[in-house]
Amino acid sequence: MPENTRRRPPLIAKSPGLPFFAISRRRPPNPHCIGAGLCDITAPHTSNGKNARRVTLCVFSITLLGGIMNKVCGLAFSCLLAVFAVGASVSAARAQGEAETPPATAEGQRPPSSPGAQGQQQQRPPAPGQFAPPLAHGEVKNYKPVTNEMLLNPSPDDWLQFSRTYDAWRYSPLRQINKKNVSELREAWVLGLPAGITETIPIVHDGVMYVITPGAGVDAIDAVNGDLIWEYRRQYKNPQLASSERTKAIAIYDDMVYFTAPDGYVVAIDAKTGKERWATYKTDTQNTSGAIVVEGKVISGGTCGRGRDSCFIEADDAETGKMLWRFMNVAAPGDPGYASWGGADNTNFTASTWGLPGNYDPVRKTIYWGIANPSPYERLARHGGNADGTSRTAPADLYSNCTVALDPETGKLKWYYQHLPADDWDTDHTHERTLVTTTYNPDPKAVKWYNTEVPRGSKHDVAAMVGESGIMFVLDRNDGTFLWAEPIPVDAPNLAISNIDGKTGKATINWDVVMKQPGDHHVICYWNGRSYWPTAYDPETNSLYTGYVDNCLDMKANGMSGFRHGVLRDGSDINKIGGIAKVNLSTGEMMKFDEQRAPSTGSLLATAGGLIFHGDINRRFRAFDAATGKQLWESILGGPISVSTITYAVNGKQYVSVITGDNLAEPTLSRQTDTPLVAGHNAIYTFALP
């Protein structure tokens, strides 16, 4: 397999002949050495699987009167020669980041190639602050600008948005990989990524992949072989911002790529060269969401900074970066929604759009965006110690936990629907809205709440979403009329809402589990039942596919945001805590599959090949039959699957690509389920048929 000088994830490399020694620059400095230079020189594993010998050299340089004196502490050079004598029969292995190299038989330490893979593994530069080779400064050849028409009707070969299309289907018309041949999928290439958080989704245009990298950079990559074309690295005044970067989505339009950076800027990058074209400062948001481009406007959400004035959805001119409009997430005095706050001074309160970006209906010229919970979390904190300081039934504390329908030209509110009034537990209803046309025929055996005023069999253009409450909502996207809702994976007495009125569609908070005074203790279901890993829709089955975690919140009130941790739902099976729910968007009928102990933080992907792709925190990446849920293929990767999954084609060949790596949800899910977690393995894996 070809090698170059850039870092890749720890891998078994097939290298005939004399052994080589891997140099890792990610290991913390040896406390016995003085100076900044450190190399782990690791002998490869022997053929019988025994641990390789390790020689650690600590090198530093002292400059004196223009001369350089190198000092080496550690084992003598003769020891190094002895290690080289291990023999030509030894196969090579790279050092495992922060951990000692494990036995060859140990799982979870390096990404194995699929059987028979003829993959290419590229190396990447280390994290910021460590020694790194020069950045790639190539150019995308024969670049074709992305037009409005291409965003509306993308080529089947491209993946131009975080869910491919404005409607958030995450459905690809590609069918070269299908139920009959998916078992033959093999690794095509692997590209290691820098250390840090990765919660992002790549895009692909005309054979070039654009991806946000850990450390808050952006790369252009040849989508056929993983070769780097260019790298964009932004200079941050506070380096800590880069290391905690969590942007979910990157956008593309015309000849620019749009990156919502963690320092509060929206940045336009030349798609051909990687050069910065413009940067617009929003506020002290960390921009954890991402952007979509609608009618020449870059529209983005993000975390809040300080108080309600820092909480908004913003549109910037795609060509110049000029700010065009803002929609404020927290209704202030003068906004009709302010009455829902019961007179509270909400100047310092927030409701962010930190999760996945919104979606666009080009027929209605309407953007649908989800706003998260109000903060501080407890009603007590927001309403002067009185949990009843605002309504128990929607609307309350607008526009928290709402779907808002906005005019993309002006940012004006067309309508809203509140999924959870005046949340008490940090139960977000942000993330994507899936736009589908379907008939209304809810099955009372499957659906907990439904609109009794809507004729059965009537056709509707709907917006469907699954909240972190574990409750799925289906709305008519003309005016926000409530159609039906159901809990996923099962009903429970301690859901976040106790009722949705069958005539008005107004939701009521579950007062039984609301904190009435400091010290109150309740268990609320669900907690992060799903989060920032997107759902998928398959038109062939008319079903939405969502990952779920059968996980509830144990919370004790403290008058602010509570003492909190996750617990199993009463009566649940920890060996089935994670899974996929297939929900028919006409009837609400649900089928669960891939039930297991290891939860997931991976995206769902549906294809015209009749497949659903999904991965979990236990490194398993799988393909399922979209109709039956039967598992058809599996590959065990080197790290946990994090969001990301897409498919695309180049020169008639279909690829499936997924990112492994660290995100903020994995450690909690790992501890709760006792699922082994491999940290520090950030990489892009791409698969294709032989």
C-beta of residue 35 within 8 angstroms of C-beta of residue 107: no
| Residue at 163: amino acid letter | S
Overall average pLDDT of the 252-277 stretch: 97
Which of 646, 677, 673, 676 is CA-nearest to residue 664? 677
Which pLDDT tens digit goes with each residue over 664-684? 999 999 999 999 999 999 999
Evaluate if residue 26 carries a pLDDT over 90. no
* Residue 314 shares a structural domain with residue 406: yes
C-beta of residue 271 within 8 angstroms of C-beta of residue 251: no
Reported in sequence order, the residue ranges of 489-610 that DSSP labels E, i.e. its strands, are 497-500, 507-509, 521-525, 536-538, 543-549, 551-556, 563-568, 578-584, 590-596, 601-602, 605-607
Q: Which helix (H) or strand (E) holds 209?
A: strand 208-213
Q: How confident is the model at residue 240 (pLDDT cuts 50, 70, 90)?
A: confident
Domain count, the chain: 2
Residue 123 lies in a domain: no
Q: How far is CA 483 from the centre of its chain?
A: 28
Strands 186-192 and 120-122: parallel
Q: What pLDDT sits at residue 241?
A: 87
Average pLDDT, the chain: 85
Which pLDDT tens digit goes with each residue over 370-423? 999 999 999 999 999 999 999 999 999 999 999 999 999 999 999 999 999 999
CATH number, domain with residue 653: 2.140.10.10
Task: State which of 83, 110, 137 marks the end of a domain.
Answer: 110
Q: What pLDDT sits at residue 376?
A: 97
How many Å apart are CA 435 and CA 575, to the nearest integer? Answer: 33
Which of 216, 360, 198 is CA-nearest to residue 295? 360
* Residue 287 shares a structural domain with residue 187: yes
Q: Which helix (H) or strand (E) holds 239?
A: helix 239-243
Which pLDDT tens digit goes with each residue over 592-629? 999 999 999 999 999 999 999 999 999 999 999 999 99
Whole-number Cα distances in Å, 634 to 149, 404, 622, 688 = 36, 39, 4, 13
Which pLDDT tens digit goes with each residue over 166-220? 999 999 999 999 999 999 999 999 999 999 999 999 999 999 999 999 999 999 9
Q: What pLDDT sits at residue 28?
A: 30
* Residue 93 shares a structural domain with residue 161: no
Q: What pLDDT sits at residue 133?
A: 67
DSSP state of 238: S
* Residue 190 shares a structural domain with residue 100: no
Q: How confident is the model at residue 286 (pLDDT cuts 50, 70, 90)?
A: confident
Overall average pLDDT of the 39-64 stretch: 30
Cα angle vertex 480, ends 448, 368, to 5°? 110
C-beta of residue 172 within 8 angstroms of C-beta of residue 606: yes
Q: What pLDDT sits at residue 125?
A: 46
Residue 44 lies in a domain: yes
Q: Which helix (H) or strand (E) holds 347?
A: none
Evaluate if residue 687 carries a pLDDT over 80. yes
Evaluate if residue 537 carries a pLDDT over 80. yes
Encode 531-543: b = buried (16+ Cβ within 10 Å), e = exposed.
Answer: bbbbbbbbeebbb
Which of 664, 654, 655 is CA-nearest to residue 684? 655
Q: What pLDDT sits at residue 305?
A: 85
Evaluate if residue 33 carries a pLDDT over 50. no
Q: What pLDDT sits at residue 116?
A: 32
Which residue in this structure is represented by tokens 């002006």? 410
Q: How confident is the model at residue 17 (pLDDT cuts 50, 70, 90)?
A: very low
How many Å apart are CA 90 and CA 92, to the nearest integer? Answer: 7
The CB density around residue 105, as the number of other CB atoms within 10 Å, is 7
* Residue 103 shares a structural domain with residue 154: no
Residue 5 lies in a domain: no
* Residue 313 shares a structural domain with residue 444: yes
Burial class of residue 352 (count of CB atoms within 10 Å of its CB; 0-12, 13-18, 19+): buried
Burial class of residue 461 (count of CB atoms within 10 Å of its CB; 0-12, 13-18, 19+): middle
Please report, in angstroms and rounded to a whole number, the separation of the first and last CA atoms in the chain.
Answer: 16
Evaluate if residue 100 carries a pLDDT over 60. no
Q: What pLDDT sits at residue 131?
A: 53
Whole-number Cα distances in Å, 187 to 472, 606, 642 = 35, 19, 18
Listing DSSP states for 241-281 in one string gives HHHT----B-EEEBTEEEEE-TTSEEEEEETTT--EEEEEE
Residue 306 lies in a domain: yes
Task: State which of 110, 139, 157 marks the end of a domain.
Answer: 110
* Residue 96 shares a structural domain with residue 172: no
Q: What pLDDT sits at residue 414?
A: 98
* Residue 442 shares a structural domain with residue 561: yes
Q: What pLDDT sits at residue 87?
A: 34
Q: What pLDDT sits at residue 138?
A: 94
DSSP state of 201: B
Overall average pLDDT of the 459-485 stretch: 98
Q: How confident is the model at residue 285 (pLDDT cuts 50, 70, 90)?
A: confident
Whole-number Cα distances in Å, 156 to 101, 255, 534, 625 = 42, 20, 20, 21
* Residue 78 shares a structural domain with residue 168: no
How many Å apart are CA 485 and CA 462, to the nearest integer? Answer: 12
Q: What pLDDT sits at residue 70?
A: 36
Q: Which tokens belong to 74?
A: 């550690």
Lowest mean per-residue pLDDT among 16-20, 241-245, 358-362: 16-20
The proportion of the chain whose per-residue pLDDT surpasses 90, expressed as a percent, equals 78
Residue 118 lies in a domain: no
Encode 468-505: b = buried (16+ Cβ within 10 Å), e = exposed.
Answer: bbbbbbbbbbbebbbbbbbbbbbebebbbbbebeeeeb
Evaluate if residue 145 carries a pLDDT over 90. yes
Residue 685 lies in a domain: no
Encode 387-400: b = buried (16+ Cβ within 10 Å), e = exposed.
Answer: bebbbbbbbbbbbb
Residue 132 lies in a domain: no
* Residue 203 shares a structural domain with residue 307: yes
The proportion of the chain whose per-residue pLDDT surpasses 70, expressed as a percent, equals 81
Evaluate if residue 311 carries a pLDDT over 50. yes
Evaluate if residue 470 carries a pLDDT over 90. yes
Evaluate if residue 257 carries a pLDDT over 50. yes
Task: State which of 84, 110, 136 marks the end of a domain.
Answer: 110
* Residue 95 shares a structural domain with residue 203: no
The CB density around residue 40, as the number of other CB atoms within 10 Å, is 22
Range of the domain at 48: 12-110
* Residue 168 shares a structural domain with residue 59: no
Residue 140 lies in a domain: no
Q: Which helix (H) or strand (E) holds 298?
A: strand 297-300
